[in-house]
């Protein structure tokens, strides 16, 4: 029996998935450059199935997306250029990183379940949560291994520089942190 979430997905996803992202007109005046580029990238990289890409951009199916592409030779040329760059040998490192990031992203729900499951060893749970924090970029400063999980003022910043003064025998650490701007407190309003 489907869960309430699956019922909701079954109701909402088809509505969203069949909403066209691209105009049917040749000039496509409202199509943003970023949206067009993401479509080109998705087609060129072939990480997702064509059915998934078609659904993502509001085509009824892969055939509908194919008709759209057949009518736009310039768009096909751009996909071909992007694909040749993506699959080039010199791009192997970037391709590996993107695919690894994609795999890590797809494993986030499972890692969260491990981190939140009270029946799993606490050290395993903590490691799962630390890995999630690192993926999300909220693991704090330090060596980038998630040692700091605090926003306390003495925890340092997202960027730290350590300067070793050899003759003084000490190390100074300078940290830079993104903080929201503080309002200026004025003791006597109207006075600088």
Max Cα distance, the chain (Å): 73
What is the pLDDT at residue 192? 46
Question: Per DSSP, what are the bridge partners of residue 170?
Answer: 165
Tell me: pLDDT of 74 over 80. yes
Query: What is the Cα–Cα distance from 7 to 15, expressed in whole angstroms?
Result: 13
Residue 77 is predicted with a pLDDT of 94
Q: Looking at residue 159, what is its pLDDT? A: 57
Sequence ranges of the domains in the chain:
4-91, 108-172
pLDDT top residue among 92 and 153? 92
pTM: 0.55
Residue 154 binned pLDDT confidence (cut-offs 50, 70, 90): very low
> Which residues of the chain form beta strands (DSSP E)?
159-165, 170-176
Residue 95 has pLDDT above 90, yes or no: yes
C-beta of residue 54 within 8 angstroms of C-beta of residue 64:
yes
So what's the pLDDT on residue 37? 92
pLDDT grade for 161, boundaries at 50, 70 and 90: low
Q: Using CA atoms, how far apart are residues 40 and 21, in angstroms rounded to an integer?
A: 13
Q: What is the mean pLDDT of residues 151-156?
A: 44
| CA distances for 53 relative to 50, 60, 80, angstroms | 5, 11, 16
Most confident of 7-11, 57-61, 141-145: 57-61
Lowest mean pLDDT among 1-10, 65-74, 119-128: 1-10
pLDDT at 36 over 80: yes
Q: Please provide the average confidence, as pLDDT, over all residues in the chain.
A: 76
Q: What is the pLDDT of residue 46?
A: 93
State both tokens at 31: 């199509």
pLDDT at 149: 42
Residue 28: what pLDDT? Answer: 55
Q: What is the pLDDT of residue 148?
A: 42
Tell me, what's the pLDDT at 57? 87
By mean pLDDT, which of 5-9, 24-28, 95-99, 163-167 is the weakest? Answer: 24-28
């Amino acid at each position: 029996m489907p869960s309430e979430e699956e019922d909701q997905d079954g109701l909402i996803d088809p509505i969203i998935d069949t909403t066209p992202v691209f105009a049917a007109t040749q000039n496509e005046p409202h199509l943003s450059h970023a949206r067009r580029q993401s479509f080109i990238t998705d087609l060129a990289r072939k990480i997702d199935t064509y059915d998934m890409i078609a659904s993502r951009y509001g085509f009824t199916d892969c055939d509908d997306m194919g008709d759209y592409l057949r009518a736009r030779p310039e768009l096909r040329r751009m996909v071909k250029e992007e694909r040749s760059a993506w699959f080039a040998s010199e791009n192997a490192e970037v391709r590996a990183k993107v695919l690894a990031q994609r795999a890590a992203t797809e494993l986030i729900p499972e890692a969260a379940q491990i981190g939140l499951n009270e029946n799993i060893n606490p050290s395993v749970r903590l490691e799962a949560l630390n890995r999630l924090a690192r993926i999300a970029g909220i693991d704090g400063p330090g060596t980038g291994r998630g040692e700091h999980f605090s926003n306390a003022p003495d925890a340092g910043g997202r960027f730290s520089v350590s300067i070793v003064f050899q003759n003084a025998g000490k190390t100074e650490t300078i940290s830079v942190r993104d903080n929201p701007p503080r309002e200026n407190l004025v003791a006597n309003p109207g006075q600088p």
